[in-house]
Structure formats: structure tokens, C-alpha cells
Amino acid sequence: MPPAVVDTHCHYFSETTPEEARRLIARARSVGLTQALVCSARIGELAYAADGAIGEGLAFALGVHPFDAYIPVDEALHTLEDEVSRRKASPLFAAVGEIGLDFRKNVLAGIAERAGITPDEAKARQIDLFVRQLSLARRLDLPVSVHAVHAAGALLTALESVPGVRGVIHAYNGSLETARRLTGLGFKLGFGGALARPNAQKLRDLLAALDATDWVLETDCPWMPAPDALSGERRARSEPADIVRILSAAAAARGLTPESAALEALGNTHQAIPALVPKKLA
């Protein structure tokens, strides 16, 4: 039997048909996928992502992505809270996400242009949106799935401002020093297809330097480039079954067998997002 693996961050239902998603999820299950956290990516797909996940018995997260900070924060949170109250009773509602901060110049410029504000105001709005969703997660007693790009300082400040919130920093690609501060706050770090890229030695070294308790697996499917870059093969989008190649890459980076790496990741996933791992597996 292949080792049990959990995908802690994905968007299996984005940019695809439900039939195609079902087919790809079945393939991933046949190679060891036991559970996944399907995150809403854009505010228009909150219900769609949740319905898709529930239909497949997968866990889901609801949240407003930092890319949607062009919407006034009160309005965005109102839409989110409506969906949250419809889903609150579902045992598959496992986290608040994807939420976070993305301070890349082009992202801030895009939000600023769309909202008729300055890039600095776009940044402030992302922070406000993020912090208020961290508070929502605390109120709901749910973990968070966090997107953070070029925003390490603001990320730490925001997380420290809402103590008690836990979860995963997805697609972590920062310094070891920031990693230690994040894990010190109780967060796990998510690693995906980027690990398998030939030029990603720095990322593999980072994963190797972490403690056994610090890391989890994810595909960010379909957005994260497929890990087949290693073989020279290129695919337009990644797919759920890629979690197994990501497990192999993580195991190699940590000097473990895939079986031991899977066990390590499973225990960490249980700590970060308990609903993803039944107690008997953790």
C-alpha cells in the first residue's frame, strides 16, 4: 500500500469541470492521497470550492485571498461571513483560507488600479483584511492556510497581533530565520512542487534544516507549476496525484524514506489542521 499523504493546500476545483476534478482526485487517491484541504482562491468561488470538496468528501477552507483586496474590506468580510454561516455545521469545514499578504509590486499595483487607491493603501488594505480574518479564525476556533509573498515582516507582525491562531504558511519560500519565528508561533510550513525543480536547491536545503515537526506537504494544484520539470516534461497545470512526487522530493531532501517522510508530514498535518487527519492515523 502506498503511504498515506494529505494535501494541505489545493484548489482542485479551480479552472476545471467537476467531472475532470473527480477523475483527477480518484487518480490521486489510488496513489495514496487520503485527504486534502480545498481552499477558496477567489471570492467568487467560495461556494463552488466548498461544494466541490463536500461532493468528494474532502475538507475545505473559506477565506478572502489577498488578491481580492481591491474589494472594500467590510464588503469582502460580509460575503465571507455569509458563506461561513452557511457552512459552519459541516465537519469538513476545516480552516480559514486562503488568506494572507502579497506585496509583489505588480500585485499591489493591480489592486490599487482596480480599487482607485494607491499601492500603499492596497498594502494597508491587505493587512486589514488579513488581520480581521485571523480574528475570524480565532473566533471560529479554526486554523488558517496562509499565502505570504514578499511580506515576511508584516506577516510576523500580523500573526503576533492575533495570538493563539495556528495553521500552515503555504508554499513557504523564505529564510530559515523567518521559518524559525513562524514555527515558534506554532505554524507549520507547506512545501509543494517547487521542491522538485532542478534549480530549487536552496528550498531543499531549507526543508532539510527544519525540525521534524515543522513541515507539511501541498500541491497548490492547479497553480503551482508541475514538479515534472525535473524530467524535462512540462505540463500547463499540476494535478492532485503530484502530491506523491512532492512526497518523494521532500523525503530525498530530508534524507528519509518516503514512508518515514509521509508519517512525519501526517503527524504535523494533524497538529496544524486536525480535521485533515483522523486520530487513528496521526
Residue 29 zone, left/alpha/beta (φ > 0; ψ -120 to 50; rest):
alpha
Q: Please say which residue, 8 or 34, places its beta carbon nearer to Zn ion.
A: 8
Question: Locate cell 521532500: which residue?
Answer: 250
Stretch that binds Zn ion, among 204-212, 220-228, 259-267, 271-279 (CB under 5 A): 220-228
Q: Return the range that interacts with Zn ion (CB under 5 A); candidates 20-28, 102-110, 203-211, 213-221.
A: 213-221
Taking the least distance from each CB to Zn ion, the nearer of 83 and 98 is 98
The distance of closest approach from Cβ of residue 9 to Zn ion in the complex, given in angstroms and rounded to an integer, is 6
220 sits near Zn ion (criterion: CB under 5 A): yes
Smaller CB distance to Zn ion: residue 64 or 117?
64
Q: Grid coordinates standing for 262?
A: 509521509
DSSP-assigned states of every residue in 54-84 = HHTT-EEEE---GGGTTS-HHHHHHHHHHHH
Cell of 223: 497553480
- Between 117 and 171, CB nearer to Zn ion: 171
CA 6/CA 35 separation, integer angstroms:
5
Which helix (H) or strand (E) is 33 found in, with range?
Answer: strand 33-39
Contacts of 252 (CB under 8 A, 6+ apart): 204
Closest approach of Zn ion to the CB of residue 169, in Å: 12
Closest distance to Zn ion from the beta carbon of 7 (Å):
11
Residue matched to cell numbers 506577516: 155
For Zn ion, give the closer residue by CB, 56 or 98: 98
From the CB of 41, what's the least distance to Zn ion, in Å?
A: 6
CA-to-CA dists, residue 80 to 122, 157, 253, angstroms: 19, 23, 38
Minimum distance from CB of 120 to Zn ion (Å)? Answer: 25
Angle at 246 between CA 243 and CA 248, to 5 degrees: 115
Of the candidate spans 30-38, 122-130, 175-183, 216-224, the one that interacts with Zn ion by CB under 5 A turns out to be 216-224
- 64 within 8 A of 76, measured Cβ to Cβ: yes
Q: What residues between 94 and 153 interact with Zn ion by CB under 5 A?
A: 98
**Given the complex with Zn ion, which of 9 and 270 has the nearer CB atom?**
9
Binding-site size for Zn ion (CB under 5 A) equals 2
Sole window of 107-115, 154-162, 219-227, 245-253 interacting with Zn ion (rule: CB under 5 A): 219-227
Phi and psi torsions of 147, nearest 5°: -100, 125
CA distances (Å), origin 255, targets 191, 200, 260: 16, 16, 10
Nearer to Zn ion, 41 or 277 (CB): 41
Between the alpha carbon of residue 5 and those of residues 36, 221, 233, the distances in Å are 9, 15, 24
Which listed range, 119-127, 212-220, 232-240, 244-252, lies at the site for Zn ion (CB under 5 A)? 212-220
Instruction: Provide the minimum distance between the beta carbon of 223 and Zn ion in the complex, in angstroms, as a whole number.
Output: 6
Q: Taking the complex as a whole, how short is the minimal distance between the CB of residue 259 and Zn ion, in angstroms? A: 27
In sequence order, what are the beta bridge partners of 97?
A: 145
Q: How far is the CB of 36 from Zn ion (least distance, A)?
A: 12
Residues lying near Zn ion in the complex (CB under 5 A) are found at 98, 220
